[in-house]
């Protein structure tokens, strides 16, 4: 059965979904941050992955510079898996800062490379082993509240 929707309805539905996802991200991020445990593996178990990066507004430019280096590293890697990661990795910035002068960056990884590790310091270390400490310090120093990873699977809607 084919359904017809008004564009305003779809727009408001998508805005609601994104808003809910952001609030879930904030909640999960605060719970994960409170545990004190820091996982380094960034492997997704689904077709699409999201990474919510909560960055200090004053460090947004430094974060973006680090992510440019990640993109460069993936693009020129001799490892096919890494080049595929780079081709499917898109980074977005939310225009308005959120509470506490934090800028939200969302990475959309679609399709995810099965079994690939998306841990940024590991990628930087592979490509720039002699410079990795400086990149790592810049990258980690940019975070206000860490990251939240979400694995997404498509839902078939008849």
Per-residue pLDDT tens over the stretch 57-103: 999 999 999 999 999 999 999 999 999 999 999 999 999 888 889 99
Q: Model confidence over 8-41: pLDDT tens digits?
A: 544 554 444 455 555 555 544 443 443 344 557 8
Is 0.85 surpassed by the pTM of this model? no
Residue pLDDT, tens place only, 37-56: 455 788 999 999 999 999 99
HSE, CB side, 13 Å, CA atoms: give it for residue 27.
Answer: 6
Residue 30 has a CB neighbour count (10 Å cut-off) of: 13
List the one residue out of 31, 97, 113, 107 whose CA is nearest residue 58.
97
pLDDT at position 9 is: 47
Looking at residue 38, what is its pLDDT? Answer: 52
How confident is the model at residue 18, as a pLDDT? 54
Give helix then strand counts, H and E, for the chain.
Answer: 5, 4
Distance, in Å, from the CA atom of 93 to the CA atom of 46, rounded to the nearest integer, reads: 23
- Can you tell me the mean pLDDT for 119-132? 94
Helix, strand, coil percent content, the chain, rounded in steps of 5: 50, 20, 30
Question: Which region among 2-6, 120-124, 135-139 has the lowest average model confidence (pLDDT)?
Answer: 2-6
Give the pLDDT confidence score for residue 145 in this predicted structure.
85
Burial of 17 per CB tally in 10 Å (0-12, 13-18, 19+): exposed
């Amino acid at each position: 059965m084919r359904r017809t929707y008004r564009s305003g309805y779809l727009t408001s539905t998508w805005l609601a979904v994104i808003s809910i996802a952001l609030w879930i991200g904030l909640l999960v991020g605060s719970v994960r941050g409170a545990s004190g445990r820091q996982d380094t593996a960034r492997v997704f178990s689904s077709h699409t992955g999201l990474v919510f990066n909560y960055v200090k507004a004053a460090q947004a430019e430094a974060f973006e510079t680090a992510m440019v280096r990640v993109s460069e590293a993936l693009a020129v890697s001799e490892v096919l898996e890494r080049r595929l990661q780079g081709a499917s990795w898109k980074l977005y910035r939310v225009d308005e800062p959120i509470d506490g002068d934090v800028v939200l960056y969302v990475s959309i990884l679609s399709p995810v490379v099965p079994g690939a590790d998306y841990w940024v310091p590991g990628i930087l270390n592979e490509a720039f082993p002699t410079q990795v400490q400086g990149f790592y310090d810049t990258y980690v120093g940019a975070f206000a509240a860490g990251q939240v990873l979400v694995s997404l699977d498509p839902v078939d809607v008849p």
